[in-house]
Amino acid sequence: MSISDMRPIHVDGADCLNHIYMTLCNYWNRKYEPTFSNQWDFHYEQASNKKNVCLGAGIRVVYENDLEDLFERYCGITTEKLEFSDFHNFISQTENELSNDRPIGIAVNTFWCPWNKDYQLVERYHMMLIVGLRKDGVLCIDSYNNLEINVMPYSLLENSICGAWKYGLQPIIEIDDIRGFLIESMQRAQNSPNEIRLFAKAIYSLDIKQEYAAYNPNIYSTLWDVLLNRKLDLISGSRNMFSLYLKYMAEKDGYDFLASYVPLFIELSNKWNKVKMILLKCYLTEFRLMDREKLLSYINDIAACEESVRLSLVEKL
């Protein structure tokens, strides 16, 4: 397939690095769903005797550190850092990769990214693909933000580029032990309900103003600047991504029963999103004792639901 045929892939809840790999999988006809096998978890570490520690800092998102390994193992996509001496050398190497129908992954400063909402406003780290070169700039796929083929002028790219990677293909490691692979996914979530309950208890004493201190629309900031909001966004998205994993695994012989669990994980994704929205509403209005009690109960219900779903899945496996 020619790189000109490459099309953006978007999945709700995935971060920008995931979107790079999913788009590569679609381009090279590889299935990305097995890499979502470790998305279902929840880790919360309660701060002890520490003042001014945000609740969001206690939520640990484990899976975000091993994407490169997951996509190499289950999709056969290898990743290698692209070293370049200067911008001219970077463009030369990019041109060489593109001539062999291989895109380049780049990390950029969003302050210089013209289609990003942060453009000329704030600096953030973001990742995307270069899929072509033109006289007026590079052609980029940034499917975290849109499904367009975006053009970044060379002058802006030179200012914004923070790093680059090239990709290759190798044989896929086939999943021989499907049951074992599924059970391993369930084991990751074994202690999640208890940690969700710890998180719920911490909500009761939450300093909502401190938690959302980074959010100030008057001087341009977004909810992404609020660590708690960002972590809950990832937790909500992880349940959606796990539903896609189960949907994929349900196609395997003897595992069609997994399809019935897909709506449950979509519902869990929506529930976590609701937690995020309730907290925002409480910040914008008032976080009363009654609100804290209702939210604690709601999160505990999520914990019970996740526990019940996991036990049911393990029993059927």
Residues whose CB is less than 8 angstroms from the CB of residue 251 and which lie 6 or more positions away in sequence, other chains included: none
Q: What is the pLDDT of residues 169-216, one digit of tens each?
A: 999 888 889 999 999 999 989 999 999 999 999 988 888 888 998 887
154 contacts 135 by C-beta, under 8 angstroms: no
pTM more than 0.85: yes
The strand pairing partners of 128, in sequence order, are: 106
| Domain positions in the chain | 3-30+77-169, 178-316
Residue 62: its pLDDT value, please? 62
pLDDT-above-90 percentage for the chain: 75
Q: What is the pLDDT of residues 93-128, one digit of tens each?
A: 999 999 999 999 999 999 999 999 999 998 999 999
* Helices then strands, each counted (H, E), the chain: 10, 8
* CATH architecture, range 3-30+77-169: Alpha-Beta Complex (3.90)
The strand pairing partners of 105, in sequence order, are: 129, 165
Q: What is the pLDDT of residues 28-83, one digit of tens each?
A: 999 999 999 989 999 998 765 555 568 898 998 765 558 899 999 999 999 999 99
